[in-house]
Amino acid sequence: MTERVEYDEFGLFHENAAEFGLPFDRPPVVRRVFAEVGDGRRLSALVWQDRDPELVLLHGGAQNAHTWDTVAMALDRPLVAIDLPGHGHSDGPGDRPAGPLDPHGNAADVAVAVRALAPAARAVVGMSLGGLTAIALAAQAPDLVRKLVLVDVLPGIRAQRARHITDFVNGPPSFPSLDDLLERTAQFNPARSRSSLRRGILHNAEQQPDGSWVWRWARHRLPAAPAGAVPADAARYESLWEALSSVTVPVLLARGMRPDSVLDDDGERELRRRLPDAEVVHVGEAGHSLQGDTPLELAAIIERFVFGRAGHA
């Protein structure tokens, strides 16, 4: 008989706290909710605390809302972390040609969810695909974006900078066991702890009746263009430079400085040319996924930029 792996999505927060030295007197108050976005589709989200949300967090491609868990715990503020269309527990993107990788279509859905769940949020924070979606959201629904935090992403990412991500995402459609999935994930994330990677897998994959494992987002993979955190034809996002140039609210870019970041100096210079007042913060110990590599530092950056005071890090 195939061994079933027990999973309680709200039962792992003590691991986040222990790994990063956060206080843990009791589990945080977190609940999963759903917002109707039209055509019978729903977006899922994690709502932290019972007060009006102050932040909206958007994850990267092939991730889910739980990628922000440690950041959310470090911030200790009411917030909403949304599963993008086709990710986590959210429904797929409908009949959009670009599927779940379309920032403009994602933004239209996210706008509906934000109006329902966090209409007065003081900032939108987006990583990778979530950051591109946040840029599109600022153009489509500027009243919902009062400050914008981009986590290791800008429009026009060069495909070669994201090759390590697409190679990982475009892997096998299923895995015989959790250990097999963990081994592959560890190969592409050598700087992360095994416990952190296992926790992320449990949040982002499902065990099938035969005991195998499938990524949650894989059910919406596009046959002609497999899904990735940053697609190979990333040049199609160049138009988002114009959307970003039109943003009038404060903008901050948190850029990982390890080689596995998808950004380079040219992209940063283009941001500074278009938005001279934008703030850029370099995080030396982080790669592309700052929320996983250096969550306390990222939480401190968000806290200072959005709320004007130092955070936990």
Q: Confirm whether 8 is domain-assigned.
A: no
Percent of the chain whose pLDDT exceeds 90: 81
**SS3 letters across 23-57:** CCCCCCCEEEEEEEEECCEEEEEEEECCCCCCEEE
Q: How does the average pLDDT of the chain come out, rounded?
A: 92
What's 228's DSSP letter? Answer: -
User: Rounded to whole angstroms, how far apart are CA atoms 184 and 281?
Assistant: 31
* 17/22 Cα distance (integer angstroms): 5
Active site positions, annotated? 128, 152, 288
Flag whether 6 is in a domain: no
Q: What is the pLDDT of residues 220-276, one digit of tens each?
A: 775 544 333 444 445 567 789 999 999 999 999 999 999 999 999 999 999 999 999
In a domain, 175, yes or no: yes
Could you tell me if residue 252 is inside a domain?
yes
Chain segment 84-99, per-residue pLDDT in tens? 999 999 999 988 877 8
Beta strand pairing call for 279-283 and 251-256: parallel
Predicted TM-score (pTM) above 0.85: yes
Number of domains in the chain: 1
CATH of the domain at 148: 3.40.50.1820
4 belongs to a structural domain:
no
The CA distance from 32 to 46, in Å, is 5
Range of the domain at 229: 13-307
Q: What percent of the chain has a predicted confidence (pLDDT) above 70?
A: 92
